[in-house]
Each structure stands twice: as structure tokens, then as C-alpha cells.
Structure 1
Amino acid sequence: MFSLSGNKSADGVRGYPGSPVVSAEAKVLPRPLRRVVRFVISLCSGRIVLPRHLGKVSLAAFYGVVGLHGVVVGGHGPVVAQAVTSTAGFAVEDVRVSGNQHTSEIDILQLLGLDGSTSLLGLDIAAARAALSKLPWVESAEVRKVYPSTVEVVLRERQAYAIWQHGSDLSLIERSGSVIAPLRDNKFASLPLFVGRDAETAAASIDEEFSKWPAIASRVKAFVRVGGRRWDVHLDNGVVVRLPEENVAGALALLNRFDEEQQVLSRDIAMVDMRLPDRVAVRLTPGAQERRLAALEERRKALKKLEQKI
């Protein structure tokens, strides 16, 4: 048997056979670095065997990292994410819309930006809601994601209260006077018509006054704002009622009494002027004026003949 012992010399120390000779004056490496050096030595000496295909996997990982870096730096992340998630089965395939009585579904789909390959994960709900809220008829909009491939849109639309004519343009307005959209068809022809500057903001107040007198209100064809202060009311038979600037309620009560007692609004007249508080003026139509003059002339002649006989 042989015993192993370390042999010392003046130039170095040998710890075990085959170990590197470390000079007494050499610097000692830090512990983490010593581990790295030992690993490299073992790898080079063949004591550590690398797994098969490690090089291919490392090369693929390197290319993947480089590609990901390029996508992020180039700002293509959302596009790539949308393409990946759409391919994975999250493409939007169904859009359910409710509450849209006047808003076209085509307009809704265009604003959502759905092209058949849009990913449900990539759909921006806040942006979609803001875009839909800008549609003329939409008061509020709710957009929900229903996984894996459905979008639900719930709209609350504005209510048309009346038609406002300003110049030659016709617009639909809310009760508050806010303009909804231009008038495009005749399906709103039954709504009251308000004409003139500031007529849209004062429409609700005058309509409320007339609602107390349904017999007169049912015959109104248009409310015309005059000077931003008062109203001329056009009836369906062509009669124009000029209302005062103040005490509209009292004027309407008086007009209703005249109509019940004397059917003044059904007579052959052109205008009823109620602007003065102490009197009511009535203007006849041209035909009625001619008939009245002819009747007065016949009466004058009859009186003259009677005087001659006496």
C-alpha cells in the first residue's frame, strides 16, 4: 500500500495528484468566480456532458428574444398579440346590439372597427364606448366582452321631443332644446314644430302652457318665436294667434273662452291679436273682408231706402 501525502515546495503547494499548482503569491479568486472557472474547466475536460440539441434550442431562444425585442421597439405588440389571440380562438365572431331604435347597426360595427379578425382580448372597451357615445342618437353606451368570441352593445338613445326649424334647416331636438340630428324623413311628422331663433330652448315652456288647453293645442300647427320674446301660434286652419310677451296663461284662458262661446277660431278670420292686455283684435281674411264690406253696403242702401220712404 502506498500513502498519499501533500508535497510542499518553495514555489507552490500541491493538494492532491493532478490538481493545479497554486503559487503562494497568487491571488485567490472570489467564490462565485471560482465556481465559474471550475465549471469551464470541467466542460473543457469532458467531465460535464451537455444535453443533445442544446445548441439548436439556444439559437431558437436567441432568435425569439431578438424578434420580441424588435416587436416591442417597433410598436407592433398590439398587432402581434391580436393576431396570436385571434388564431387561438378569441376572434370576435358575434356582436349583439340592443336599444338601437334609430341608430344603424352598420354605424355601430364601423365604429367598433371589427374586421373579422379582431381579437376579443385586444378590443379596447373604453375607446369603443367613447366612440359609440358620439353617435347623434346615442345618450349612453355600454360595451361588454363575452368570452370567447362575443361583444354585447347596449345603447340608450335620446328621445325626440319636437322639430326645430332654423332658416331652411329642420332638426330634431330633445325637451331640453339640445339638437339630436337633422330631420331626414317623415316618421317624426307628428311632433310639434317650433320655428325661429331661440325657439328650441323655449319650446318646452310654451308646450306646457298649451297642454292645459287640449282643445286649442290639438289644432296647433306651428309655434313661431318672435324676437326671442313671444310666440305667434299657427293653427291648422290658417288662423294666427299672436300671444303676449307676458301672462300667456291668461291669454290662453281668454282665447279658450271666446272659442267655446263664439267659436272664434272656426270663423273666417286670419288673425287673433292678444298682445294688448285690455283688448283683443281680430283680422278677417280677404274674402271675409269683401263679404263684410258688401254686407255693409247692402245695409247702407237698405237704410237709405227706408229713410226715403219715411
Structure 2
Amino acid sequence: MGLMIRDQRSGRNPGRRGAPTRGAVRVTPPAPRSWPRLGMPSLQGLRGSGRRLQQLLWPLLLVVLGMGLYELVDRLQPLAQRPVSVINVEGDLQYIDRASVQAALAPYQQKSLVTIDLDALRADLLAMPWVAGASVRRVWPDQLVINLDEHLPVARWGDDALLNNNGRAFTPEQIDSFQGLPLLNGPERAKKRVMQNYQQFNRLLRPHGHEVARLEMRDRGSWFLTTRGGIEMLLGRDDVLDKMQRFLTIDRLMLAERRELIARVDLRYSNGMAVAWREPATVNGE
């Protein structure tokens, strides 16, 4: 907005165009007020201050940390030296003897939780005949938790050992109570294969009223099977499952009513089989 001043003596407006009026007063507007400028610290200065602060704080922080660790070690040392007082043994155990487990754990009971050798303890547990798997873990401050897995006996292997369902042999001190299990035999390297064939044969035979009592893989790879009904089967080396299917088909069609009279079945033929009877008999298709 403009500023206008009238001369009271002449009554004229000095703002109009023309020659200046005599006695007019010229007014100069005031200069703008200047405010003091506030200084801001430079970025480089801040960085320099931050570095100096870090240089001062790091030694102090390290001292505090060292004192804290010393105090922690001092408090935990008595607990670390405390002997193991509780050992929990977990697992669905049927055959593992409690006294055998206690004997295996005895050398470790006076050791502290920190110094106890878990790998050595686990190895001692796995050396027990019935233990198929073992895990050991620490529970602070003075407990051990042990989980044991037992072998599941499925069959006998030879005269002195048992086989679990994975074809793994183990040798308990007494196996007399397992004489009812099927007897499997074969080369030592073939345990898993014998177990696999045993399981496959049983799956085929059981729906038809048969069950494996004995299975043997002989040196040249031929298979010999005996059912619980006393029927001996010579299966040869190749295509043994197909041969078993062939026997079951003929058994269902022709032999089911006379099973008790069958002594031996020879399935080593490519397209048939031979039957040996317990007493003389004539059977069509023999």
C-alpha cells in the first residue's frame, strides 16, 4: 500500500504530476529491520565430535562388559561344578533292563553337567544289546535327559541273533523266549534283503491262510521257504514273487482242500510247479 502526505498550507496533493510544490516535505520509508543470524554447526564438526565421543565410550564399555562377565562366571562356577543329581530315562521300553541302564550310567553320575562327555555316554548306551537308538541332552543346572529306542524283534537270525524290522541284527543275552519268531538265514551281507523278502512273502501269504515260518537265502542266491503249515517251497533265484503268486493261484483253485497233505512245492519251473505229497495221492495238474 502506498503512503500519501498532504500539505496543509497549499491544499495540494504532492502525489499529482507536475512541478513540485513549494514547501513540500519528502518522507523516506524506514529501512527493513535486520535480524541477527543464528549460526548452525557444520556436518564435519558433528562427525568429529561423534568420533571423539566413541573414543571415550569404547574403553568404558569394554571395562563394564569385562566386569559383568567376571561377575557372571563367578556366580556360575559353583553351579558348573555341581554333580549331576537327576537322570531321566525316557522311551517306550519293554525289553531294556533297568539294572543294565543303571550300570551304564554309573560312571557318569559323579561328573558335573559341564564336564560330562555326552558322546561317550551315548556310545555306552548304544552298546547295550536292546538299544537301537539313544539321545542325551543337558538340562541346567544338574539334570540329564536320556531317550532310548528299543529294537523291535521281528525274526530270529541264525541261532544266536534277532532281526529288527529294518533287517538289523542284534544279539541279546537270552533269545530262548523268541523261539516262536520265524527263522531267517543267509549270508551276513544279505540280512536286509532277507528281511525285505520275508516281509513281502508274508504280505502275499497271509490273506490266503499261509505264513512264513522259515526263510533261507542259500549261497548261490536261491530261496528256500517253509510255511507254518509245514509246506516247503523251492523258489530258485529269479522272479521269486511271481513264483509265489503262481503257487497261490494254483493253491486257491486246486490245492486248498488238501494243504495238509502237501510236503513240498518246487517252483523253479518257468511255467508250472511240482508237488510232493506226504502220502501217495493223485492230483490233476500235478
TM bucket (normalised to shorter chain) is: 0.5 to 0.7
Alignment equivalent of 2:197, drawn from 199, 203, 206: 206
Alignment equivalent of 1:215, drawn from 184, 207, 212: 207
- Partners of 1:270 and 1:183 lie apart in 2 by 35
**Residue equivalent to 1:241:** 233
Residue 164 in structure 1 maps to residue 157 in structure 2: yes
| Cα deviation, residue 208, structure 1 | 4.2
3-state SS of paired residue (2:101): helix
Amino acid at match of 1:242: L
Alignment equivalent of 1:179, drawn from 169, 191, 207: 169
Amino acid at match of 1:170: D
**Residue equivalent to 1:56:** none
| Cα deviation, residue 181, structure 1 | 1.9
**Residue equivalent to 1:107:** 100
| Cα deviation, residue 206, structure 1 | 1.6
Amino acid at match of 1:94: V
Alignment equivalent of 1:126, drawn from 105, 108, 119: 119
C-alpha contact 1:230 1:243 (8 A) present in aligned 2 = yes
What do residues 158-211 of structure 1 show as CA deviations (whole Å, max 9, x unaligned)? 44342211xxx2311234433122472455455432124356232233224321
**Residue equivalent to 1:54:** none
What do residues 135-157 of structure 1 show as CA deviations (whole Å, max 9, x unaligned)? 33334322233344432211233
Residue 260 in structure 1 maps to residue 241 in structure 2: no
- Partners of 1:122 and 1:238 lie apart in 2 by 59
What do residues 245-271 of structure 1 show as CA deviations (whole Å, max 9, x unaligned)? 212222112211121112256141211
Residue 273 in structure 1 maps to residue 263 in structure 2: no
> Could you state the TM-score of these two structures normalised by the residue count of structure 2?
0.59
Alignment equivalent of 2:88, drawn from 96, 100, 106: 96
Residue 225 in structure 1 maps to residue 227 in structure 2: no
C-alpha contact 1:97 1:153 (8 A) present in aligned 2 = yes
The 1:126/1:204 distance shift into structure 2, 3 A limit, reads: closer
C-alpha contact 1:90 1:121 (8 A) present in aligned 2 = no
The 1:196/1:129 distance shift into structure 2, 3 A limit, reads: closer
| Cα deviation, residue 275, structure 1 | 0.9
The percentage of counterpart residues that share the same residue type is 24
3-state SS of paired residue (1:253): helix
Q: Aligned-pair RMSD on alpha carbons?
A: 3.2
- When Rg is computed on C-alpha atoms for both structures, the one with the higher figure is 2
Unpaired runs of 5+ residues, structure 2, are 1-76
3-state SS of paired residue (1:212): helix
The 1:184/1:228 distance shift into structure 2, 3 A limit, reads: farther
- Partners of 2:101 and 2:179 lie apart in 1 by 26
> Could you state the TM-score of these two structures normalised by the residue count of structure 1?
0.55
Unpaired runs of 5+ residues, structure 1, are 1-83, 294-310
Aligned length: 202
- Partners of 1:111 and 1:283 lie apart in 2 by 54
3-state SS of paired residue (2:160): strand
C-alpha contact 1:97 1:105 (8 A) present in aligned 2 = no
